[in-house]
């Protein structure tokens, strides 16, 4: 029934709220399935992502090796009573020597090129992290078997629940990535060892995340979302029940 003159004001209001609830539920469920698809897509391409990051770490190591070939005498550092001060003098002498013969600029340019690939890979990775975070705060209760919600073909409530549960369990690992990658991975030659170390940590943590998520995803779980969930709010719900459900789903949207 559509709103019209034949409907009472109360029935008309209930119809509007019912429609609003249907749209809110459909939006929440569709976004959830999209996040799962993003997670599945990244996990399936993870091995290639790792290969590229390995190549970048190897390139950084080569740049570091070339920088270390500058021959400076460290004997004064070992003999000095103030080794910290002596090492700083050694470091800046080395830096000056690199700058003087043009190798410093050449190596930093090479490092800049490598890090652009790294940052590109991390930007794609950010979409995956965002999807995992959204799933970690997704309501399991919404995806229980019920008369109101019907998932698209090849999507099953138990599969969705498994991915949400896995996302919650690995969520603490996401703290590893809570930094501005473009600021941190800046092409400073003196920081090459730190950049290599951090990128390797990212890779190892990402491996743990993907392994955990892959276990939660059924191989039969379709990757492509071609249909929207079906929401049937024409079941026997009172006006108060519809209103409570609507408030609840809006709160869940805000949490995400």
**DSSP state, residue 230:** E
**pLDDT tens digits along 6-64:** 556 666 777 777 788 888 888 888 899 889 989 989 999 999 999 999 999 999 999 98
| DSSP-derived 3-state class of residue 231 | strand
Task: Return left, alpha or beta for 153; rule: phi > 0 is left, psi -120 to 50 is alpha, else beta.
Answer: beta
pLDDT band at 115 (very low <50, low <70, confident <90, very high): very high
Out of 47-56, 70-79, 236-245, pick the least confident.
70-79
Q: What are residue 150's DSSP bridge partners?
A: 230
Spell out the residues 6+ positions from residue 22 whose beta carbon is closer than 8 angstroms to its own. Answer: 231, 233
pLDDT at 246: 85
**pLDDT tens digits along 148-162:** 566 655 557 788 889
Tokens standing for 110? 């090479």
**DSSP state, residue 152:** P
pLDDT band at 200 (very low <50, low <70, confident <90, very high): very high
Domain boundaries, the chain: 27-255
Q: How many angstroms separate the Cα of 204 from the Cα of each of 46, 100, 229?
A: 12, 38, 36
| pLDDT (mean) for 101-113 | 81
Residue 15, H or E segment: helix 9-44
pLDDT band at 189 (very low <50, low <70, confident <90, very high): confident
pLDDT at 1: 47
Question: What is the DSSP annotation of 148-216?
Answer: SEEPPTT--HHHHHHHHHHHHHHGGGGGGG-S-HHHHS---GGGHHHHHHHHHHHHHHHHHHHHHHHHH
């Amino acid at each position: 029934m559509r709103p019209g003159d034949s409907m009472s004001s109360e029935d008309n209001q209930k119809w509007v709220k019912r429609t609003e609830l249907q749209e809110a539920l459909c939006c929440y469920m569709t976004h959830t399935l999209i996040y799962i698809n993003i997670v599945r897509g990244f996990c399936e391409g993870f091995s290639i992502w790792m290969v590229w990051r390995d190549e970048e770490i190897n390139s950084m190591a080569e740049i570091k090796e070339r920088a270390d070939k500058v021959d400076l005498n460290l004997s004064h550092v070992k003999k000095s009573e103030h080794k910290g001060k002596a090492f700083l003098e050694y470091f800046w002498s080395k830096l000056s020597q690199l700058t003087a013969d043009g190798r410093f600029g050449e190596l930093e340019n090479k490092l800049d090129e490598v890090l652009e690939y790294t940052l590109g890979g991390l930007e794609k990775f950010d979409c995956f992290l965002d999807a995992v975070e959204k799933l970690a705060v997704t309501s399991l209760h919404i995806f229980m078997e019920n008369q109101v919600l019907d998932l698209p073909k090849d999507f099953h409530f138990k599969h969705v629940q498994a991915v949400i549960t896995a996302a919650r369990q690995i969520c603490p690992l996401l703290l590893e990535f809570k930094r501005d990658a473009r600021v941190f991975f800046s092409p400073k030659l003196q920081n090459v060892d730190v950049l290599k170390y951090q990128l390797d940590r990212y890779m190892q943590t990402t491996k743990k995340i993907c392994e955990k998520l892959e276990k939660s995803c059924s191989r039969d779980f379709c990757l492509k979302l071609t249909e929207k969930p079906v929401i049937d709010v024409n079941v026997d719900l009172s006006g108060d029940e519809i209103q409570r459900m609507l408030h609840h789903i809006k709160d869940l949207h805000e949490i995400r």
